[in-house]
Amino acid sequence: MLQQIFNIVFPIFFIALVGYLYGRRHAPDMAAVNRLNMDIFTPALIFDVLVGRDFDILAFGPLALAGVLVVLGSGLLAWPLARLLGYQVRTFVPPMMFSNSGNMGLPLMLFAFGEQALPAAVVLFMVENLLHFSVGTRMVDARASLLDMFKVPILIASLAGLGFSLSGTGLPLYLSRPIGMVGQIAIPLMLFSLGVRLTSIDFSDWRMGVVGAVACPLSGVVVALALQPLLQLEPLQYRLLLLFGALPPAVLNFIVAERYGQEPHRVASIVMLGNLGSLVVIPLILAFVL
pLDDT tens string, the chain, 290 residues long: the values are 667 767 766 777 788 889 989 999 998 988 888 889 889 998 898 888 778 655 566 778 899 999 999 999 999 999 999 999 999 999 999 999 999 887 678 878 887 888 788 778 878 988 898 898 788 888 887 776 666 667 778 888 888 888 887 777 778 888 889 998 998 898 888 888 878 877 766 666 788 889 999 999 999 999 999 999 999 999 999 999 999 999 999 888 888 888 888 888 888 888 888 888 887 888 888 888 87
Note whether 11 and 279 are within 8 A (CB). no
Nearest 5°: phi and psi at 249? -60, 145
Note whether 120 and 60 are within 8 A (CB). yes
CB atoms within 10 A of CB 13: 16
Q: What is the CATH number of the domain that holds 117?
A: 1.20.1530.20
Q: Which residues pair with 271 in a beta bridge?
A: none
H or E, element range at 274: helix 264-289
pTM over 0.75, yes/no? yes
DSSP 106-139: HHHHHHHH-GGGHHHHHHHHHHHHHHIIIIIHHH
CA distances from 275 to 73, 81, 94, 95, 108 (A): 20, 20, 15, 11, 13
Residues 6+ apart with CB under 8 A from 252: 42, 98, 132, 190
Note whether 275 and 158 are within 8 A (CB). no
CA distances from 12 to 74, 104, 129, 220, 282 (A): 24, 9, 19, 21, 14
- If one counts the domains in the chain, the total is 1
pLDDT at 158: 82
pLDDT at 1: 65
Instruction: Give the integer Cα–Cα distance in Å for 219 and 285.
Output: 13
pLDDT at 169: 75
Residues 6+ apart with CB under 8 A from 102: 45, 49, 125, 129, 187, 250
pLDDT at 75: 95
Instruction: Give the integer Cα–Cα distance in Å for 184 and 203.
Output: 33
H or E, element range at 94: helix 89-97
Contacts 24+ apart (CB under 8 A), 179-183: 179/44, 179/47, 179/48, 180/44, 180/48, 180/52, 182/40, 182/41, 182/44, 183/41, 183/42, 183/44, 183/45, 183/46, 183/47, 183/48, 183/49
CB atoms within 10 A of CB 185: 16
Range of the domain at 262: 2-289
Report which residue type is found at 211.
V
